[in-house]
């Protein structure tokens, strides 16, 4: 089997409603920038991948000349190429999709399955207004009524007191019924904006963690910078709440350092940021050192499917992050890319999620809709 065509499309997918994400409070998101990658073979198989941002030119000008005529099964061989040009891991996801289709197996079965369902948690993307959390409370109640057993909220207020007021309001609404997680997004390199998002230091992270412990919050995510491995280890040593992170790190050796320095209780790699193959290696690292492996969401149904397949080979406590915060990030718009993905991945009544049916990723793409969002 040989790769015969590689296509990459920069897409602008309009948001259902303008909004500002919690980690970029002054930046109004009107549309989603995404790059869809299609790899085709001489045996009629096509694989799909994708990621946030516009990087089609890098795929076509740099990656394509290396891979045309090559065997799609040689994934490990190509990882160095993909890493050296900036980690355009959408191509690698597409190659794995082809491999699964060639074997006529879902990827989790190809890799060795341990389960067919993963508990999911609803992951929000906006914060409430200081002192007015009505919309957020209605949202978390909706999650509970739809079957979610866990919900993650964002803490981005100016003061600890405001953060804790928000947490207390959420706990009052659904506490005892679902697990609550908290994300501070301090590992994100904040987008320049007229509206400042608070930056935490160790003291604020420690005080917040101690208060969240008292309230029974399951984990505190990204309380410090992405490379603050020593301070994260110090925080973890001095708290009981799980400390989580890793989604923004994009090198396998970063994760080695996290493990060596005992920075996290929960490690959260992303198949789009770190590569699907390397996320599987990180899974093995976590298993070896008894660290919880709870991956990031994968940024679309394509990455979500890839991540679920990995988790279905993992026989330990875990969750699947499920981005779902209507009307800001909806299944149709965020996960399914405005209808380009024809196979939405839905949470069942028990709050669990399953890999899509079919070989490879199991994702069906409507290529006819690409032109609707394609950037010329």
Q: At what angle do helices 252-261 and 229-237 cross, to 10 degrees?
A: 40
Two tokens at 376?
A: 């010329």
Q: Does domain 111-353 have CATH number 3.20.20.120?
A: yes
Structure-model confidence comparison of residues 228 and 136, the more confident one: 228
pTM of the model: 0.95
pLDDT at 24: 81
Please state the domain extents for the chain. Answer: 3-105+369-373, 111-353
Query: 45, 98 in Cβ contact below 8 A?
Result: yes
Query: 268, 295 in Cβ contact below 8 A?
Result: yes
Query: 325, 123 in Cβ contact below 8 A?
Result: yes
Terminus-to-terminus CA distance in the chain, angstroms? 32
Q: What is the pLDDT of residues 178-201, one digit of tens each?
A: 999 999 999 986 566 666 778 999
User: Residue 75's closest CA among 306, 243, 304, 293?
Assistant: 306
Q: Does domain 3-105+369-373 have CATH number 3.30.390.10?
A: yes
Distance CA 127, CA 230 (A): 29
* Per-residue burial over 104-139, b = 16 or more CB atoms within 10 Å of its CB, e = otherwise: ebbbbbbbebeeebbbbbbbbbbbbeeeebeebbeb
Residue 174 CA, distance from chain mean position: 24
Q: Please report, for residues 186, 218, 343, the alpha-carbon distance to residue 182 in angstroms, rounded to integers and kept in the order given.
A: 12, 8, 29
β-pair partners for 39: 6, 47
Of 25-29, 230-234, 290-294, 333-337, the one with minimum mean pLDDT is: 25-29
Percent of the chain scoring above 90 in pLDDT: 85
DSSP state of 299: S
Mean pLDDT along residues 130-137: 82
Query: 148, 141 in Cβ contact below 8 A?
Result: no
β-pair partners for 48: 38
Two tokens at 72?
A: 């799609």
Of 25-29, 136-140, 301-305, the one with minimum mean pLDDT is: 25-29
Q: Does pLDDT of 132 surpass 80?
A: no
Q: Using CB atoms within 10 A of its CB, is residue 58 exposed (0-12), middle (13-18) or buried (19+)?
A: middle
Query: 81, 74 in Cβ contact below 8 A?
Result: no
Q: Does pLDDT of 161 surpass 70?
A: yes
According to DSSP H, which parts of the chain are helical? 56-58, 64-67, 75-84, 90-103, 107-111, 134-145, 160-174, 202-214, 229-237, 252-261, 271-274, 276-288, 301-311, 370-373
Distance CA 183, CA 242 (A): 12
Distance CA 26, CA 69 (A): 46
pLDDT at 87: 72
Confidence of residue 251 (pLDDT cuts 50, 70, 90): confident
């Amino acid at each position: 089997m040989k790769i015969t065509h590689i296509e990459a499309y920069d897409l602008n997918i309009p948001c259902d409603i303008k909004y500002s994400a919690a980690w970029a409070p002054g930046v109004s998101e009107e549309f989603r920038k995404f790059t869809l990658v299609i790899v085709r073979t001489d045996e009629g198989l096509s694989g799909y991948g994708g990621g946030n941002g516009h990087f089609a030119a890098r795929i076509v000008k740099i990656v394509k000349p290396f891979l045309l005529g090559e065997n799609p099964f040689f994934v490990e061989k190509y990882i160095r190429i993909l890493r050296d040009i900036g980690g355009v891991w959408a191509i690698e996801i597409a190659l794995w999709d082809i491999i699964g289709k060639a074997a006529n197996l879902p990827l989790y079965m190809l890799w060795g399955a341990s389960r067919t369902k993963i508990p999911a948690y609803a992951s929000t993307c906006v914060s409430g207004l200081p002192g007015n959390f009505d919309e957020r409370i209605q949202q978390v109640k909706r999650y509970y009524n739809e079957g979610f057993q866990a919900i993650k909220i964002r803490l981005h207020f100016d003061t600890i007191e405001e953060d804790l007021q928000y947490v207390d309001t959420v706990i009052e609404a659904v506490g005892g019924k679902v697990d609550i997680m908290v994300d501070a997004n301090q590992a994100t390199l904040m987008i320049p904006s007229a509206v400042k998002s608070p930056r935490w230091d160790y003291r604020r992270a420690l005080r917040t963690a101690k208060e969240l412990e008292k309230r029974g919050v399951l984990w505190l995510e990204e309380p410090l910078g992405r490379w603050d491995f020593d301070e994260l280890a110090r925080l973890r040593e001095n708290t009981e709440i799980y400390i989580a992170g890793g989604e923004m790190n994009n090198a396998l050796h970063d994760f080695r350092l996290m493990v060596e320095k005992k920075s996290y209780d929960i490690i959260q790699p992303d198949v789009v940021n770190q590569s699907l193959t390397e996320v599987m290696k990180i899974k093995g690292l976590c298993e070896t050192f008894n660290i919880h492996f709870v991956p990031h969401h994968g940024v679309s149904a394509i990455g979500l499917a890839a991540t679920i397949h990995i988790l279905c080979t993992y026989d330990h406590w875990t969750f699947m992050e499920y981005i779902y915060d209507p009307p800001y990030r909806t299944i149709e718009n965020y996960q399914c890319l405005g209808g380009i993905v024809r196979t939405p991945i839905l949470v069942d009544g028990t709050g669990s999620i399953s890999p899509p049916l079919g070989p490879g990723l199991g994702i069906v793409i409507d290529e006819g809709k690409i032109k609707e969002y394609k950037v010329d």
